[in-house]
Structure 1
Amino acid sequence: MSYEIKNQKKIDLNKVKLDIEISNNYLKKYIGKAYKNISQKANIPGFRKGKIPYQIIDANFGKQYVLNEAASLSISELYPDIIMESNLKPIDYPKIKINQLAEDLPLGFEVELELEPEIELPGYKGIKVTGLSTDVSDQELERQIDNIRNNFASLEPVEDDKPISKGDYVTLDFDGEIEGKAFEGGSAEDYLLEVGSNTLFAEFEDSLIGMKKGVKKNLILTLPENNENKDLSGKQASFSIFIKEIKKKVLPEINDEFLKNLGDYKDTDDFKDNIKKRLIEQKESVRRGKIIEEIFNHIIDNIKSSVPNVMVTGRIKQINEEIDEGLKKQKINRDNYLKAINITEDKLNEEIKERAVREVKEYLIFKALEKAEKKNIEPSEDEIKKEKDNIISRYKKEEDIKKIREFFENHEGNKTLTQTIKRRKIIDLLINSAQVIEEKNTGSRGKEDIWTPDKDKARVEKKAKRLWTPG
């Protein structure tokens, strides 16, 4: 064997020290490689790089320098195998101290490692949580159907003498001036505006109500204090407004013709049943997410263990790299990104740190739960096969199916499957053991919270996100 772990001992709460010996034969292989490396880099007058004799290297650098290079190479090569054999999970670079290094002796050294901490879990069963209702009221169903109809609405002209009311769509010309001078964004022609949408500022839109097609109006308005252009905030502007056309939004009737745009529905009742089913599914997903969030909030608030700074720092670095990679793909620089989300660099860094701390804690909690509930969450062969078949069934192309099968056949793929099932079982266990305090359905959720056909993709993408794990 090329190496031997002579001793392994715990030196601190999350630190261990390994005493290791690498065989002399293995070390000698790397002495030759060390000479070659030094020869490639060294600048010695009279000799070309890569062609420097060993004796010349010894004379210029010393034999010990060569042995140190050989030791570094051999330790680097064997380190992954040493960690795997010892079944340890270091979270930082190792501290290495060489104790014995000679050309005719084994290489003796010690490795000090900081490991993932094993946190002490508080009570995690019977936690009181809120159970959001999954009932769908008639009001919610009708609101959702109207929301879908709204996506297919048409704009139709109103009668010529009908005044503008909130919700009408108006085509207008307007010219704005401040102290007799035009200002940026103050004028437009053939501008289509939904009155009451706050696309322009509220006072301007409100002034249109009651006007009729073909009418011109002059008025003085005060620009809002939160104007994007700070130089214009709060200033008075005179506007000349001309109404060219007024239209109203007309929602389509729910009939066979309309349903053809949405999918294969038998009739209106089938369509409504399908929408209701999707709303229930979404509410069940939200309910489950809310319960597990409250459970984890409780556990996080009650754990006494601190998380290692090195894990948090590592996760912060990863998050920033993910952000930068995303911005690079979208060809957006970081400064413009900060302006777009209206946040300072310091505030973003603060939020990233909070996220990193949370994710590290969640990871360590899951690891502790896996250990505590090992007997209850170990998946059977049937469960693994079912999970595998379920994932494969989502793919249609033979090429994709072949790739995913090959992935599941290797060690990493099988490990991923097993881990997925374990995590799901832990979540189920936590939810099933919680004290759920049911909340009545008030039917007051806004339309932005309920399902629409185009949200399916977003839901799938969100579900695909997994718990963060180091590396």
Structure 2
Amino acid sequence: MATKLEKLENSRVKLTVDIDADVLEQAMQEAYRRNVKRINIPGFRKGKAPRKIIELNYGPDVFLQDAVEILLPRLYEEAVEETQIRPVDQPDADLTEVERGKGATFTFTVDVYPELTLGNYKDLEVEREIVTITDADVENVLKQQQERSAQLVVSERTTVQEGDFCVIDFIGYVDGKPFSGGAGENQVLEIGSGRFIPGFEEQLIGFEVGQTSDINVTFPETYHAEELAGKDAVFSVTVKELKEKVVPELDDEFAKDISEFDTMEELRATIRKNLEDEATRRTNAAMENKLLERIAEDSEVEVPQSMVRHEAEHLYEMFIYNLAGQGIGEEMYLEMTGQSKEQLLENFLPQAETRIIHDLILEAIREKEGIEVSDEEIDDKITEYMEEYGDGDLDPATQERMREHYEKNRTGIANSLAREKTMKVIVDSARITEVEAAQDSEQSEVEEAEESAE
């Protein structure tokens, strides 16, 4: 077997494999052995007909296609091993020439792991934003906790007003006929939440408990159900009960109820620290991305589209998984946004390509700097993970399962540690200027940090 390697554009290669007549004949003989039991030839018991007799009846190339299918995976595997390429996708295979008694020529075209020409990665200038956590930021977190701890109690009032929670039955009509999804019983609706069709909640203000009346609305032109978009509708609504939201006082009792702390002062201090830690983590991550972008601008690499596609699919799956954690299914999200799966997947392509390039940069720097991770470092990280999840508070069986989980993922932990150490080389050599975060940027950071801190 002889293999020729040809480099194409966009990290793609073409392997041309020539085999001699003996290799082709061996594959033909193997194809005969695999198929002979299924072939009936008059004068021979089923499965006992000689190969030459079968070829006389069905043609000399009767086993050729099966022989090719036998050869393709074997030849490709051997060609990959011989040329030491690193494929990132399945190959496009083709039989370009075949002649019994002479041999055959196969070609395999495949995307391979891209080669990167690394640019400068030391002594780079970069800004790191400093986010200042204010008392208002801390209070926002407390208010959110306060809202989550609120309770709905039956109101002494009987007239609906803004901010009330109404328990309602309703049925909707378009052109005098009920429509699918237009009815509900014992639905709890916060007046002013904007959950229902525009105008619906506003018209409930002034209703009395027990009252049944009609509400007239118009579905938005952009309504997700096309058959209802822009249509006028009438809803017959009955207010069955009226509730008010009662929020707890922000006092020491509240702190004890929602946390491990005895006082609001301790709770506020912890919330502030969590917000500051999270803001620091995010601004450091943003700075690291800027550094990687600078290195990418000074580097050269061609990332194959199949590799980008695979990474985009991975990001998409993570996105859908996170949506499911919020109670939103894939179909529901696509319907809400009016997108197809393919359109949403396309949105992840730029991010996927950036992630791949950054990983290639870090891998190249790691190799150049000779960065390694010891077994002891992995053991220490596993211990850190165990302690983080309350190792001492878990029963022995749970502790053992957790440790087994981390032990199985030693390679992943090693890669994560190597990435941290490599990134540290870049950051430690950088010339960093600290700047106050812009107001809109700061607000965004704080809001995200608040989510995490909770």
Classify 1:386/1:70 alpha carbon distance in 2 versus 1 (closer, same or farther; 3 Å). farther
Q: 1:285 to 1:52 in 2, by over 3 A?
A: farther
Separation (CA, whole Å) in 2 of partners of 1:446 and 1:12: 44
Compute the TM-score of the two structures, normalised by the length of structure 1. Answer: 0.66
CA distance 1:44–1:148, shift in 2 (3 Å): farther
Q: Is the 8 A contact 2:118 2:361 kept in 1?
A: yes
Tell me the residue number matched to 1:356. 349
Which segment is superposed worse, 282-291 or 146-155? 282-291
Query: 2: distance between equivalents of 1:365 and 1:446?
Result: 23
Task: Tell me if 1:93 matches 2:87.
Answer: no
2:271 maps to which of 275, 291, 314: 275
Distance 1:357-1:240 versus aligned 2 partners, 3 A rule: closer
Cα separation, 2, equivalents of 1:280 and 1:217: 52
Q: Is the 8 A contact 1:218 1:241 kept in 2?
A: yes
The yes-or-no answer on 1:383 pairing with 2:380 is: no
Q: In structure 2, do the counterparts of structure 1 residues 207 and 301 end up closer, same or farther at CA, with 3 Å as the change threshold? A: farther
* Residue 449 (1) aligns with residue 445 (2): no
Residues 189 and 89 from structure 1, CA distance in 2 versus in 1: closer, same or farther, beyond 3 angstroms?
A: closer
Which whole-Å CA distance do the structure 2 matches of 1:236 and 1:445 have between them?
Answer: 39
**Alignment of 1:152 onto 2:149:** yes
- How much does 1:259 deviate? 4.2
Evaluate the alpha carbon distance shift between residue 361 and residue 270 of structure 1 in structure 2; reply closer, same or farther with a 3 A threshold: closer
> In the TM superposition, what whole-angstrom CA distance separates every residue of 1:227-253 from its partner, at most 9, and x where no partner exists?
847658475969888796452422244
Conserved 8 A contact 2:15-2:108: yes
Distance 1:46 1:316, change over 3 A: farther
Would you say how many aligned residue pairs link Structure 1 and Structure 2? 432
Secondary structure of the residue aligned to 1:374 is helix
In the other structure, the counterpart of 1:438 is 435
For residue 33 of structure 2, what is the amino acid of its counterpart?
K
Tell me: CA distance 1:376–1:192, structure 2 relative to 1, closer, same or farther (3 Å): same
| Residue 360 of structure 2 corresponds to residue 367 of structure 1 | yes
Structure 1 segments unaligned to the other structure (5+ residues): 457-471
Scaled by the length of structure 2, the TM-score of the pair is 0.68
CA contact (8 A) 1:152 1:252 kept: no
Residue 138 (structure 1) shift: 0.8
> CA 1:34–1:178 in 2, change beyond 3 Å: closer, same or farther?
closer
Other-structure match for 2:400: 398
Identity in percent: 18
Q: State the match for 1:340 in structure 2.
A: 335
Aligned match of 1:465: none
CA shift for structure 1 position 45: 4.7
SS at match of 1:118: coil
Contact 1:384 1:418 (C-alpha < 8 Å) held by counterparts: yes
Tell me whether 93-102 or 112-121 shows the greater mean CA deviation: 93-102
Counterpart residue type for residue 138 of structure 2: L
CA distance in 2, matches of 1:177, 1:28: 76
2:394 corresponds in structure 1 to: none
2:167 and 2:188 in contact (8 A); partners too: yes
User: Conserved in 1, the CA contact under 8 Å of 2:40 and 2:47?
Assistant: no
Counterpart for residue 281 of structure 2: 285
- What is the alpha-carbon distance in structure 2 between the residues aligned to residue 69 and residue 190 of structure 1? 66
List aligned pairs for 1:67-466, cutoff 5 A: 73=70, 76-77=73-74, 79-80=76-77, 82-84=79-81, 86-91=83-88, 92-93=90-91, 95=93, 113-114=109-110, 115-120=112-117, 131-156=128-153, 160=157, 166-170=162-166, 192-201=188-197, 203-206=199-202, 211=206, 223=218, 225-226=220-221, 228=223, 231=228, 233=230, 235=232, 245=242, 247-256=244-253, 258-295=254-291, 306-312=302-308, 336-337=331-332, 340-345=335-340, 348-356=341-349, 358-376=351-369, 378-381=371-374, 382-387=376-381, 389-390=383-384, 396-399=398-401, 401-402=403-404, 404-405=406-407, 407=408, 414=411, 416-432=412-428, 433=430, 435=432, 438-440=435-437, 442=439, 444-445=443-444, 449-451=448-450
Q: 1:267/1:121 Cα in 2 relative to 1: closer, same or farther (>3 Å)?
A: same
Question: 1:267-325, CA deviations, whole angstroms, 9 ceiling, x for partnerless residues?
Answer: 33332233223223332333244334445566667777554344456667778899999
Structure 1: how far apart are the matches of 2:257 and 2:309?
50
Instruction: Compute the displacement of 1:198 (Å).
Output: 1.6
Alpha-carbon distance in structure 2 between the residues aligned to 1:101 and 1:232: 65
CA distance in 2, matches of 1:19, 1:173: 73
Shift of 1:374: 1.5
Quick one: distance in 1 between partners of 2:161 and 2:213? 19
Given the superposition, is the C-alpha separation of residues 22 and 284 from structure 1 closer, same or farther in structure 2, using an over 3 Å criterion? farther
**Cα deviation digits, residues 307-352 of structure 1 (max 9, x gap):** 4344456667778899999999xxx998x5575233243xx42442
**Helix, strand or coil at the partner of 1:155:** strand
Separation of aligned partners in 2, 1:241 and 1:64: 79
SS at match of 2:337: coil
Deviations 1:36-87 (A, max 9, x none): 1232454545556644333434544677766885575356346435524543
Separation in structure 1 between the aligned mates of residue 115 and residue 35 of structure 2, nearest angstrom: 43
Give the AA of the match of 1:356. L
Q: Distance in 2 between the 1:375 and 1:255 partners?
A: 56
RMSD between aligned alpha carbons? 5.4
